[in-house]
Each structure stands twice: as C-alpha cells, then as structure tokens.
C-alpha cells in the first residue's frame, strides 16, 4: 500500500460492535482470544473487513447486512442485581428482565455495583455504547447518596478539589445537600468518569460511610417518574438521536417506527402505569436539567 492510501474497509472490532455483538472493547478481547474468523482464517486485531467478507464469531456467521435499527433501553436497577450476564453464585442479573432481541445482544453502558440502584442504559449498538462510556465524551453522571457521618464545608471542598485514590486523583464536579438530619444526610453529587466504585471510594476517603447510593442521571437522561424500581422503558428514536449527539455521534436519522413497533412501545408504557401492591419508596430523580449537575459505581 502506497504512502497516503486509505486502507479499504473498516476495523473488524468496530464492525462487530456496530452489529450488536458487544462493546468494541469486548470485541477486541474476542478477536485476541481467537474467537473470530474472517473468510475461514483466524482474525487479527485491527484487521479491516468489507461487506464481501465472511465473518464468524464463535462459529456463527454474522449477517451484517441485516443490522437492526439502533435501540436503547433505560432500566431502573434495584439493589441486589449484578451487571454481569451470568453469576456463578446464582444471583439475579440486570439482563434477566430485559426484552429479547431478534439478533445481537444488549450492551450495558457502564455498570452499577450489587448494592447500588438507579439508572442503567442498554443498547444494541456497540459504537454508541463505546462512545457513551469513553472519557473523551465527557458525560457527567449524577448520584443521590445517603451519608452516615459528619460532612462539613472543608470536606466538600476537598472532594471538589480532588482526592488521591488508589487509581489516581478523583473528584466530584458538584455536591448539593438534599435533606436529612444528624449523621444521616442526603447529597446529590456528580462525577465525570466511570471508575470502579468511584462515588463510594471518594466519600469513604473522608472517613464517612455511604449507606444508600442511586444513580439518577446519565448525561441528559433521567429516570422517568413512571419507571419504578425493576422496570425498563425503551427510548423513542428522537431521544436516541439526542443521546447520539451527547456521545459526539451524528444523529442516526432512523426509519420511522412500523405500526407493530409503535404498538409494542405503547403496550410497554401501559404496563409501567399499572399500580403495584405495596410499592417500596425510593428516592427518584435528581435536580432538573437547569442545574449544572448529573460512572460506574
């Protein structure tokens, strides 16, 4: 290939991710593990492919021409579910309640730990998931947290300025008190990254304990009031376009929903409005979109 020539095709991991087989990082690991072949040969990381290539993942051919429209699910995760697809201990996972896809699979946009509840996004687009999670997208995440212990202005200032954790300096970009009394007080706090247990570790670095933690916002997405704990709602195409813009991607301009797809969304929304016996009380949304605030934890 001569200097300045653009190589043909797209990188294999990007094609696999866009086809809904997993995030780009997951597909890179699958290629490195020898699980992907191109035209009968074990693929190499960074290899480029075109529509004419025969691509197989774990022995199953990918029908890349039949790529589904981009879909996004918003799930209100309860405490007591893990974000893995399978758990050796048999605990429930966040994937257990999600609707089935005809092809591809749901990809989680970040994670929440076992004892954290709140907003989780899932999509069948590996490219959208990758961009929503990548630090370069600079997307803020807002949490509602209950703290046991004394919190003063000096502590909040340290948390806003930056605290050295095991994996480097971390900080909140905003902290706002939201009620409580004595040693049990509620705060809204915002982080710009998705580090493992970042919110908990930041507060615990100051000698206080996190007794409740709920994610209430991811970028410009809040938990709708009608989506109770353990329920999900599928986003409309216009909302997905807004999410793409937040992630730094162009609007998809997807085809209009078919009548069957519209009816499916309407049925799902009617289910959300049905009353449940003895509903549990949970803190719901964060502050409105006018406030500067909104990782994985």
Q: Which residues are catalytic?
A: 113
Q: Is 193 in contact with 135 (CB distance < 8 Å)? A: yes
Greatest CA separation for the chain:
71
Q: Which residues of 43-60 are buried (b: 16+ CB within 10 A; e: fewer)?
A: beeebebeeebebebeee
Across 149-208, the runs of DSSP E, i.e. the strands, are 163-165, 168-170, 174-181, 184-191
Buried b / exposed e over 137-152, threshold 16 CB at 10 Å, is eebbbbbbbbbbbebe
- Which residues lie closer than 8 Å to 36 by C-beta, 6 or more apart? 12, 16, 27, 30, 42, 43, 55, 56, 57
If you ran DSSP here, which 8-state letter would residue 140 be given? -
> CA dihedral in degrees (103, 77, 88, 45; nearest 10)?
50
Sign of CA dihedral 63, 66, 70, 73: negative
Rounded Cα gap, residues 166 and 184, in angstroms: 27
The answer for residues whose C-beta is within 8 angstroms of residue 80's C-beta and 6 or more apart is 91, 92, 114, 115
Cα separation of 89 and 247, whole Å? 35
CA distances from 97 to 74, 130, 204, 231 (A): 12, 23, 32, 8
């Amino acid at each position: 290939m001569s200097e300045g020539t653009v190589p043909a095709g797209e990188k294999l991991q990007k094609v696999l991710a866009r086809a809904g087989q997993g995030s780009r990082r997951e597909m890179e690991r699958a290629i490195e593990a020898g699980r992907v072949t191109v035209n009968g040969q074990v693929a190499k990381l960074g290899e480029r492919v075109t529509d004419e290539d025969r691509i197989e993942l774990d022995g199953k051919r990918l029908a890349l021409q039949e790529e589904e429209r981009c879909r996004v699910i918003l799930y209100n995760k309860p405490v007591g579910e893990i974000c893995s697809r399978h758990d050796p201990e048999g605990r429930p996972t966040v994937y257990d309640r999600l609707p089935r896809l005809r092809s591809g699979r749901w990809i989680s946009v970040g994670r929440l730990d076992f004892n954290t509840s709140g907003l989780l996004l899932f999509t069948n687009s590996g490219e959208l998931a990758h961009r929503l999670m990548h630090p370069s997208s600079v997307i803020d995440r807002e949490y509602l947290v209950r703290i046991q212990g004394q919190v003063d202005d000096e502590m909040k200032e340290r948390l806003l300025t930056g605290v050295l954790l095991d994996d480097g300096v971390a900080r909140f970009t905003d902290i706002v008190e939201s009620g409580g009394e004595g040693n049990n007080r509620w705060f809204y706090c915002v982080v710009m990254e998705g580090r493992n247990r970042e919110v908990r570790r930041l507060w615990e670095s100051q000698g206080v304990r996190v007794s409740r933690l709920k994610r209430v916002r991811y970028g410009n997405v809040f938990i709708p009031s009608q989506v109770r704990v353990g329920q999900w709602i599928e986003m409309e195409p216009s909302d997905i376009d807004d999410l793409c813009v937040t992630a730094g991607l162009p609007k998809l301009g997807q085809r209009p929903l078919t009548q069957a797809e519209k009816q499916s969304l309407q049925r799902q929304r009617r289910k959300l409005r049905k009353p449940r016996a003895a509903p549990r009380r949970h803190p719901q949304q964060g502050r409105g979109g006018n406030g500067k605030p909104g990782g994985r934890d």
